[in-house]
Each structure stands twice: as C-alpha cells, then as structure tokens.
Amino acid sequence: MNETNPTGPLIPPQIPTRPARLPLGENPEERQPIPNVLAAAEAMLRQPRRVMYQLQQPGSGRLIAAMLLLVVLCAAIYGVVVGTFSYGTQLWAAPVKIAGGLLVSALICLPSLYIFTCLSGSQARLVEVFGLVTGLLLLTTILLIGFAPVAWLFSQSTNSLAWMGTLHLVFWGIATVFGLRFLETGFSHSKARSSAGLNTWVVIFVLVVLQMSTALRPIVGTADTFFPTEKKFFVTHWGDALKSPNDKSRD
Amino acid sequence: MNASSASVGRPDFRTLLQGRADALRPWTQPGHLRATAMNVAVIFLGAGLYGAAMGWWREPLQGFYVAIKFPLVILLTTLGNALLNAMLAPLLGLNINFRQSLLAILMSFAIAAAILGAFSPLAAFVVWNAPAMTPDVKSTLTYGVIKLLHVAVIAFAGIAGTVRLFQLLTQLGGSQAVARRVVFAWLAGNLFLGSQLTWIARPFIGSPQLPVVFLRDTAFQGNFYENIFQTLQHFLQPD
C-alpha cells in the first residue's frame, strides 16, 4: 500500500505580502538623468521614483529649476481657464494669482516642512525637501491641466460663482491628493522614523493654500481692485460666496 | 496559422463585440488606425441609430438632430477627458500611454454604442406604437415608460462597455485591483463630463411646446448639477 499523500503535505496557503520598498536607484531606469522639462513632466506621472532619486543627487538644482518653470507654466494655463469664467482682466489676473499663490504658499510652508523632517530623523537635505515640494506642486498643476477642458466647459455653462469656486476647489483637492502622495513617498525614502510631522505639515499646507486663495481673491469672479480691500478668513469668505446671488461680477 | 490566431489583432466587428481582452489588446498599440476608425464608425452608427429612435417621437427632424448629437456627446466626452484619464492611469498604477488609454476608452464606448445600435429597432418600435406627443405628455404613463426604457438600455450598454474595459485593463496591467481603481476613476470623470455635455446638447426626447432645434438657446445657461441641486432644494423647501 502506498502511504504517500497524493495531495502533498498540508501547508496553509501563503498570504501574499506587500513587496518590500526598494531603495531609490535600485532600478537602473531610475538612475537615468532627466534631461529636460518635458521629460520631467513625463517622469512625474510615470516614473516618480526616478524624480525622487534624481532629487537626491548632487546638482539637482537644474532639475528643480526645470520643474519650477513647468509649475508656473501649468498653473498659468489652468489660470487662463479659470479666467474664462469672467474674461476681461481675469484672463491675466487669474493665472498670475494662481501661479504666484501656489509658489508663495510653498515658500511659506517650506521652513516648517524642513524642521518637521529633521525632527522626525530624516536625512533629507534642504534642497531635497525643496525638490519634493516642487514635485508636489508640479504633479498638482499637471493634473489641473488634465482637468482644464472640463473646467472650461463648466465655466462657459454657468453664471454661478459658488458653483465654479467649488468645482475648482474639488479639482485642486483631487490633484493635491496625488501631489501629496508623491511627497509622502519621497519622504518615506529619507530614513525618517515617523510621519507624524509630515502629516501635520500637510494640514498646514492645505490651510495656507486655501487662505491664500481668499487673500488673493478674486480668482474666479471679478472686482474693482486687483487685491481685496477687506481681510477675511477663507471659511467666512466661502460662507459669504454661498449666500451671494449668482453673479459673475462678484468675488 | 489557425483562424483564431489570425483574427487576433485584426479589427473586425465580431472581435469588438466578443470583447476578448487578448484579441483587443493589440488594437491599443500604434499602427491600428483601422481599429480606431472602426470604433469611431461604430459609435456614430450605433449611438446615431439609437439617437434617431429617441428623437423620432417628437418629430423626424428631432430624430435626425439627436442622431448627430448622441455620438458627438460620446466622442467629446472621450476627447475632453483624454488627457486627464491618461494622467490618472499611471498615477493609479497602470503604466499605459496616452494613446492606449484613449483607445481603450474609445473601444468601450464603441461596444456600448454597438449595443445601443442593436436596441434601436426596439426603441423605434416602442416609439412608433406610442401616441403622438401632447402638451401634457410629461405627465403621461407612456412618457414615463419610454424614458425608463431609454435609461435602462443606455445603462445596460454602459455597464457592458465598462465590463469589457475592465477586462482589457486587467490584461494591459496584469492586476484586477489596479484595473478596478482605474476604471472607477475614469468612470467618475466620464460621468461628470458626459452628464454636462448631455445637458448642453438637450433636447433628446423633445417637448411639444418647444420648437425642434439642434441646441436650445439656453444650452450654455446653467448646468446639470445645478439643476439637480435646485430640484432637490425644491423638494426639501417647497415654499
């Protein structure tokens, strides 16, 4: 009698585990330099690890400069689309305010991010942190370009300032989620012990950008002055915008 | 070479409807202009025929207009979201390029349009049996039944197209979880834009009180979601 168990030994099935996070640069493709602005945009979408690796290399300043240039360009293009809701001066004012507002928000938040990363034990240098924030802005603005045709269609179809403001905020929110994911992934390769500091910074960054959008109003509608004459907290401004009648000529 | 392997990659209507992911995959590669042209033709023909049946109840001219508008809504949705969809795919884990994402979506719409085209004689038969439109048509049972029929057929076609798209993306990316994420994101975007384009392109069924037009004068006034919001507000605060 053959006593061999035909079904083999009873070994419980292996539960698939997530593959361990490979160090940056492990894949030879990630070590290829990013030659120009277009390659940077492509790499942000398809090979974000390549961008992260290049940001850690000496002389990453050129890449960061190229990325910043692209941020300004993409933000300006989306700004023009935002401006088509009111036309007139908003066609140039909205791009200037969106591009400028994003850059200034990032600059305001950069020192706190660097401090948080140091406190969490990260080995990242200031230039790397700056590069990661630039990556966050770049991915956000590239995605906003993807949303631009939809935003344009809606801006031609409605007079409601509240509706358009909400739509732009939703688009910015979705794009920012992807941008922050890039930042968090980059941060996870900097040997930090905890991500609590980064999570706190994310909240700060989002609040700063939202307040910036109020401080630079009108971005969607129009007003007599380039900057607002009255200071407001962004929640108050949203409440006022929702109460006001549908009108393109209000901020 | 057997017949089956010969048909792989060759653009024909039967392969499209069978939706075999392995056979459809080569259609998303460069050099398949014929497949792209066929997808566009199927969208124009299938959605056009169904649109004609939809608008015919109001007047034959309305049917003609809807036969043009319905395929245009589908193609403009595909093109309007093409860039966004191509960006979302790699970010959600599916490393396909712009062309592949565009053609995959076009293909799923072509499948949906083929189903719509197949249902168009049925829709036309129902409309032919319906009494002529009267000013109070919107409060009649016939109107409700016809509207429900259109919703059911369009939903069925959309679901069938989406299932095929999911299978194709699973084949392209090798993971069901990734394909599910991408299909969900694409669907959300296409539904959002498609609803607004449909709103702009109204009327589809038409109304006897209003003239037969290609686009209403108010086409670009208000949007689909504002309208839903106002309707909800009306229900919640009737005063």
pLDDT at B18: 74
Report if residue A125 sits inside a domain: yes
To probe the interface with A, which of B76, B78, B87, B226 has the most A CB atoms within 10 Å?
A: B87
Tell which A residues from 169 to 188 touch B, by Cβ distance under 8 Å: 178
Average pLDDT over residues B221-237: 79
d(CA B104, CA B99): 8
**Is the dihedral angle over the CA atoms A169, A171, A177, A182 positive or is it negative?**
negative
Residue B122: the pLDDT is 92
Query: Which residues of chain A have a CB within 8 Å of the CB of B189?
Result: 150
A45:B90 CB<8 A: yes
Nearest-by-Cβ selection for A163 from B197, B199, B226 = B226
Q: Residue A33: is the preceding peptide bond cis (ω within 30°)?
A: no
Reported ipTM: the value is 0.79
- Cβ distance A158 to B223 less than 8 Å, yes or no, reads yes
Residue A160 belongs to a domain: yes
Q: What type of residue sits at position B38?
A: M
Tokens of A226: 């380039």
Q: Is A51 inside a domain boundary?
A: yes
B91, B178, B217: best to mutate for the A interface, most A CBs within 10 A: B91
**Residue at A1 is within a domain:** no
What is the number of domains present in chain A?
1
A15 lies in some domain: no
E strands, B78-126, where? none
Distance in Å, alpha carbon of B134 to nearest chain A alpha carbon:
30
Tell me the chain A residues in contact with residue B100 when contact means C-beta distances shorter than 8 Å: none
CA separation for the pair B201, B206 (Å, rounded) = 11
Closest A-chain CA to B219: A157
Torsion of CA B115, B120, B125, B130, to 10 degrees: 110
> Tens digits of per-residue pLDDT, B102-154?
999 999 999 999 999 999 999 999 999 888 888 888 788 888 889 889 999 99
Q: What is the nearest CA distance from B60 to chain A, expressed in angstroms?
A: 28
Structure confidence at residue B3 as a pLDDT band (50, 70, 90)? very low
Q: Roughly how many angstroms between the first and final C-alpha of chain A, as a whole number?
A: 89
pLDDT for res A248: 60
pLDDT digits (tens, 9 = 90+) for A54-101: 999 988 999 999 999 999 999 999 999 999 999 999 999 999 999 999
Structural domain includes residue A229: yes
> In angstroms, rounded to a whole number, what is the distance separating the alpha carbons of residues A144 and A134?
15
Sign for the CA dihedral angle at A92, A95, A101, A106 comes to negative
Q: Any idea which residue has 């694409």 for tokens?
A: B186
- Rounded Cα distance between A126 and A66, Å, is 18
Closest of A83, A183, A107 to residue A140, by C-alpha: A183
Long-range CB contacts (within 8 A, 24+) of A200-203: A200/A116, A201/A109, A201/A112, A201/A113, A201/A116
- Rounded (10°) angle between helices B224-236 and B176-200: 80
pLDDT of residue B9: 52
Alpha helix stretches (DSSP H) within B133-223: 141-173, 176-200
Tokens linked to B158:
């959309």
Report yes or no: A22 and A185 within 8 Å, Cβ to Cβ.
Answer: no
Chain A contact for B91, CB < 8 A? yes
Q: Could you tell me which of A215, A82, A210, A60 has the C-alpha nearest to residue A144?
A: A82
CA atoms of A54 and A70, how far apart (whole Å):
17
C-beta atoms of B84 and A146 within 8 A: yes
Summarize the confidence of residues B209-223 as an average pLDDT: 86
Instruction: Return the biggest CA–CA distance within chain B.
Output: 73
Residues with Cβ within 8 Å of B235's Cβ and at least 6 positions away in sequence, in order, are none
B191 and A CB contact within 8 Å: no
- A243 close to B (CB below 8 A): no
Closest CA to A206 of A135, A126, A143, A136: A136
**Chain position carrying tokens 């709103």:** B199
Of B83, B85, B196, the CB nearest to A157: B196
Residue A29 lies in a domain: no
Spell out which residues of chain B touch residue A142, defining contact as CB-CB under 8 Å: 87
Q: Which domain holds residue A46?
A: 36-243
Give the model's pLDDT for residue A105: 95
Chain A, chain B: beta-carbon pairs less than 8 Å apart: 56
Q: Does A159 contact chain B (CB < 8 Å)?
A: yes
* Amino acid occupying residue A32: Q
